[in-house]
Chains A and B, each alone.
With several copies, the nearest count.
Chain A
Amino acid sequence: MILVNKDTKVVVQGITGKMGQTHTARMLEYGTQIVAGVTPGRGGQTVHGVPVFDTVAQAVEKTNANCSIVFVPPYLACDAGFEAIHVGVSLLVVITEGIPPNDTAKLVNYANSHKVTFMGPNCPGVVSPGHSLIGIMPGSIFKEGKVGMVSKSGTLTYEIALALTEANLGQSTCVGVGGDPVKGIEYQPVLNLFEADPHTDVIVLIGEIGGNAEEKAAQYIKEHIKKPVVGFIAGQTAPPGKRMGHAGAIISQGSGTAKSKIEAFEKANIRVAKTPGQVAKLVSELIKQPAVK
């Protein structure tokens, strides 16, 4: 179990918006410690029993929150992230989609200089099944277990987690790093955390076309990760030059293809699944074996 657990205390930035309210209710229902919400000008209200503050500083002072999840609109999200980092949360999860990449670049720089783990933007969040869900993932499809997942795609994570759960393979933690071209945490630090996590036996890495993060992760796995890894790449049939939904999912000038990523995986002895459903099969084979590579 990595990044979040039962002790993680969460402040929800943008708690009074539609998304904020909906997912606060779902996270509370899941058992996540949502201790505070922030909406400037709404201090003193409550949302599903959670006290709302005007600033993150107040929220942290009153509740000792150590994690923030951001639902505020795209052009205000960078400032919201700065606020949380400035105040000193240790984990910042930005759900918001459509943040201008120049803003994200600034936020990444600020988070790095403050040694804050910044997840997202445009990500589904993170769940340690049975312990804490900080994000917008549907909690019911996850199950506590030994598979660590890290992915660029939200719904594809759900699809694969569902297949794992139905195959009775639970998850230690599922991390959605998001599909934007510029982002906070990438595969490598998550892989390191899983490698060190006693609750994780197998790692599932879900990638997609665009950029070279999967190739870099493959190289890193080859050199540093001893636990078995199963990979999946979406977009094998994607035409070049077209943005496939995610801002980052584009094959440009021949680079970022699924083929290149799958080859990199194979070179790094990562088992590659052809369909989401196949991931569960491969994991189940690996989890029965002793975890050597």
Chain B
Amino acid sequence: MNLYEFEAKNIFAQYGVPIPPSKLITRPQDLNKIFFGYPLTLKCQVLTGGRGKAGGIKFAKSLAEAQKIAPELLDLEIKGCKTQSLLVEPKLNITNEYYLSVTLDRELGVPVFIATSEGGVEVEQAKNVVKMPIHFPYSAFLTRTLAYKIGLNGEALNKFASIADKLYQIFIERDLDLIEINPLVAVEGNELLALDGKIVVNDDSLMRQPYFAGWLESHLVDLPKVERLAKLHGVNLVELDGDIGILCNGAGLTMATMDMVAEFGGKPANFLDAGGGSDQAKTLAALELVNKNPKLKVILLNILGGITACDDVANALVEFVKAHSNVKLVVRLRGNNQEKAKEILSHYNVKLIPDLEEAVKTAIALAS
């Protein structure tokens, strides 16, 4: 779950990571109640990167100018994400910019600090990036070594290290995938401030993080509506451009089925992994989700039951067929209880094709 900049900064503040003064507004007239002085920075609150390049950050020299800019920004849509609100901050006199983040490194299997003294750009494009694995048990000295390695000294070293230490605490305590400050800026007077903030909360951890309880639905705004619905149903759906709806269990088999559709000349309408152990209700919900796609011509259902019981799937299919008799279905159903499933479906007009390649080819034929 991605957080908005202002939400990330609220968490920064709770942990003592210095942030600039700021105010969140949703209407231009709220600008009258901001007394930071001018120039001001106005920033679109959107759940996507590349906001600056897309014109989502503007400066205003006066209230009049701010009131002119604010409505434009509030209307701005960036990469399909609507602006929800604006974060207004004084424009700072920046003397230096840094990048700092903590994320879990999948290759090393441990969290890592990533830092560079070139902030404000995409870290992938920066040189002299320092990546420092955080082995267990953690101790704060690591953050000072990090600060030293990106070339800091004096009070800046201690301030940077202290911020890095706090980011790590947040990362662990809040179960994050990523916490990032880009840029972390040094301003006149040598203070360090998090000018922008990004937090990605680990989706699997949401249920044990009471702080984020109820946040998920309002933070899926960047997803297409059907993917959002799927996420709330606990199934993995990715929308694609084609016309053959794909519903499988297991990520690998779903991808492989998708790949086969393409290999034999068809176009997948979606990736839908109903997950292992899908019961009747979940399978039905998944069928309904696939069916929402207006381009859909046929649904290819490929279930190889490991945890999943084929009879549960068959029952879901029966319900679906009763409600949508016009939808073309190609079904391949094997594994646990496959005979029961066959029995159940024998009373309905659902064609079972046990061979995957044949099933894929049949679906393509039905779609064209």
Contact = CB atoms under 8 A, between A and B. Distances in A.
Chains A and B in contact, CB within 8 Å: yes
Interface of A: 19, 40-44, 54-58, 74-75, 78-80, 82-83, 86, 97-102, 104-106, 108-110, 124, 136-138, 141, 151-159, 162, 179, 181-183, 206, 208-209, 211-212, 232, 234-239, 242-249, 253, 258, 274-277
Contacts of A152: 252
B356 interface: yes
Contacts of B139: 78-79, 82-83, 86
Contacts of A98: 204
B277 interface: yes
Contact of A237 (B106, B205, B250, B262): B262
Nearest to A76: B140
Interface string B225-242: 000000000001010100
A232 B139 CA distance: 39
A156 B306 contact: no
Contact of B251 (A99, A153, A253, A274): A153
B148 A75 contact: no
Contacts of B263: 274-275
12 contacts: A41-B158, A43-B148, A54-B144, A74-B204, A83-B139, A83-B144, A155-B248, A158-B304, A182-B104, A208-B252, A244-B271, A275-B263
Contacts of B261: 237
A156 B172 contact: no
B208 A141 contact: no
A249 B262 CA distance: 19
B335 interface: yes
Given A57-B145, A136-B306, A276 B250 contact: no
Contact of B104 (A102, A110, A154): A102
B327 interface: no
Contacts of B175: 100, 102
Interface stretch (B20-28, B33-41, B149-157): B149-157
How large, as a class, is the contact surface on chain B? 35 or more
B2 interface: no
A40 B161 contact: yes
Contacts, number: 206
B300 interface: no
B315 to A, nearest CB: 17
Contacts of A274: 263
B252 A234 contact: yes
A137 B250 CA distance: 12
B259 A234 contact: yes
Given A158-B335, A234-B253, A258-B259, 11 more contacts: A82-B139, A97-B276, A110-B137, A138-B336, A155-B276, A157-B252, A159-B253, A159-B304, A237-B240, A245-B255, A274-B263
Contact of B357 (A40, A41, A258, A275): A275
A109 B202 contact: no
A54 B148 contact: yes
Given A55-B141, A234-B259, A208 B251 contact: yes
A237 B208 contact: no
B338 to A, nearest CB: 9
B347 to A, nearest CB: 25
A105 B111 contact: yes
B109 A249 contact: no
B207 interface: yes
Contacts of B254: 244-245
A55 B336 CA distance: 31
A152 B250 CA distance: 11
A257 to B, nearest CB: 12
